[in-house]
Amino acid sequence: MSSSKKDSEASPFGSAHPTTEIAAASPAARDLIGLLTHEDLDRARDRWRVTRARWKGRGAKRFGGLRVLWLLVGPGVLVFLGENDAPSMLSYSATGARFGIGFFIPFVVFTFLMGLVVQEMTVRLGAVTHRGHAELIFDRFGRFWGFFSMGDLVLGNFLTLITEFIGIRAGLGFFGIRPAVAVGVGLMVVVAAMTTGRYWTWERITLGLAIFNGLFVPAAILAHPDWHAVGHAMLTWTPLPNGRGSEILLLILADIGATVTPWMIFFQQSAVVDKGMQPRDIKAGRFDTLLGALLASVFGVAAIVATVPLFHHGIDASQFAGAQFAEALIPWIGHVGAALFALGIFEAGIVAAIAISTSSAYAFGEVLQTGHSLNRPMREAWPFYSTLLGSACAAAGLVLIPHAPLEFVVLTVNVIAVLAMPPALAFLILLVNDRDVMGEHVNGFWANAAGIAVTVLLVCVGIGFGLATVFPNLLGG
């Protein structure tokens, strides 16, 4: 198949429009028969399993419902547990160590609600259009805005990918594993996941790894937190953080950046498309996204709670990396708890490295109009797999370069994610309100209100950060 301009001009198919028409019943069916790809076959196999589960579940609705959910859960859980990545978990850990139990616990849960609002829109967009986010931006807004949007994504993804390998190195460093070996292990896992040649297998392997994000829960329990104080904080958002305004604002930014970032939009939409989800799967997609947000918020709060002993004992954790947090926690949560914490940081880095490098590869494939599916064999989609592997290798290599400015990357990555988010949200909201693209699935009033509120909040926090940078004494230094 060719995607050349000539072919496009000679296309027997008209302009794209939202439809739920089955391909076999479409006027173009005869033309499509000879053009089916390996990707189509794999996707059809996945669709058959969903269809069979739906049919089998007609009599026993609950069981059938669960089977359908099992088949359709994936992109939402992956995107949220992927975003509970190494810098995010370190950001939560720094929050717990600096401010203890209080305002930041409900605030982190609130940021996941913001994430839920945003990611729900990507589910609908992907299921209705069957196209990735980058492709739709290029299609509807043109190359000029498309390249700006890609620039934000590429910069953010690459910086974040570097921090994932820093996390992998730090997590395994706790067990005395040398940095080169740790980074090599991380890279091998990314390669192993991408060589499955099947979206479904890739998704299940990555989900299997992602569930280990829950290691922060036993680490938190071993910290013997005051659960009454946690409950009180959740209900009252108190005690409020006590410290320099600029420091609090930076942690607020970092915690938002740990939950709401541009790569999540691009990744989940592309994953929904690669999974073959259709408009009838939107409800299941919403459940998937809600489940992901719920799990990630519990694990994020657990990371805060696990480091609260450092706050109570006045340990200065402002310069801590992953392994240092784990080592500092040994007196209070023991070797087992500290090992769980370090493994959690390692896992967070691994899963995010897989998801973020895949997100970059999807976006590049969509823009270059080449194969961009994990259902494609490598020989058919080598630019896609090269981007995936190349970005992971470059980030891994950079982490091993002595004196590389990694401190700069760690400090800026979550902040850049928050600052790059408003334009990404603007494109998302414009697309889900575009009736030519979404048909009957356009945003309703409340979805728009919530989406706009999230965008305005992010802009305000960003402006606050800008003011605090230009006028350092404005918020108390």
Partner 1 sequence: MPKDSESKRSAHPQGAGSIPGVVAKPDLKDPHVVLSLLEADQVVAAKQNTRFGPRKLSVGVRVLLWGLRIYVLAMLVLVVVSAIRAIHSAH
Minimum distance, C-beta of residue 412 to partner 1, in the bound complex (Å): 5
For partner 1, the closer of residues 20 and 242 by Cβ is: 20
Q: Give, as one character, the DSSP assignment of residue 344.
A: H
For partner 1, the closer of residues 39 and 288 by Cβ is: 39
DSSP E strands, 226-355: none
Minimum distance, C-beta of residue 276 to partner 1, in the bound complex (Å): 7
Question: Hunting for tokens 């370190």 — which residue is that?
Answer: 90
Nearest to 338, CA basis, from 180, 215, 255: 215
For partner 1, the closer of residues 48 and 227 by Cβ is: 48
* Phi and psi at residue 460, to the nearest 5°: -60, -45
**C-alpha–C-alpha distance, residues 279 and 125, integer Å:** 9
For partner 1, the closer of residues 135 and 347 by Cβ is: 135
The tokens describing 114, both together, are: 């913001």
For partner 1, the closer of residues 169 and 372 by Cβ is: 372
Instruction: Give the count of beta carbons closer than 10 Å to the beta carbon of residue 67.
Output: 18
For partner 1, the closer of residues 93 and 129 by Cβ is: 129
Minimum distance, C-beta of residue 211 to partner 1, in the bound complex (Å): 29
Question: 242: alpha, beta or left, given left = phi > 0 and alpha = psi -120 to 50?
Answer: beta
* Phi and psi at residue 18, to the nearest 5°: -65, 130
Minimum distance, C-beta of residue 263 to partner 1, in the bound complex (Å): 15
Minimum distance, C-beta of residue 63 to partner 1, in the bound complex (Å): 16
Minimum distance, C-beta of residue 475 to partner 1, in the bound complex (Å): 13
Minimum distance, C-beta of residue 377 to partner 1, in the bound complex (Å): 13
Q: Give, as one character, the DSSP assignment of residue 240.
A: P
Minimum distance, C-beta of residue 53 to partner 1, in the bound complex (Å): 10
Minimum distance, C-beta of residue 21 to partner 1, in the bound complex (Å): 4
Report the Cα–Cα distance between both ends of the chain, in Å, rounded: 60
For partner 1, the closer of residues 63 and 408 by Cβ is: 408
Question: Hunting for tokens 């007609």 — which residue is that?
Answer: 58
The tokens describing 186, both together, are: 């991380």
For partner 1, the closer of residues 7 and 336 by Cβ is: 7
Do the Cβ atoms of 387 and 364 come closer than 8 Å?
yes
For partner 1, the closer of residues 136 and 338 by Cβ is: 136
Triad 46, 49, 55: Cα angle to 5°? 145
**C-alpha–C-alpha distance, residues 88 and 345, integer Å:** 10
**C-alpha–C-alpha distance, residues 331 and 435, integer Å:** 59
Map residue 403 onto helix, strand or coil. coil
For partner 1, the closer of residues 16 and 240 by Cβ is: 16
**C-alpha–C-alpha distance, residues 262 and 359, integer Å:** 10
Nearest to 185, CA basis, from 326, 64, 349: 349
Taken in order 125, 128, 134, 137, the sign of the CA dihedral is negative
Map residue 376 onto helix, strand or coil. coil
Minimum distance, C-beta of residue 430 to partner 1, in the bound complex (Å): 7
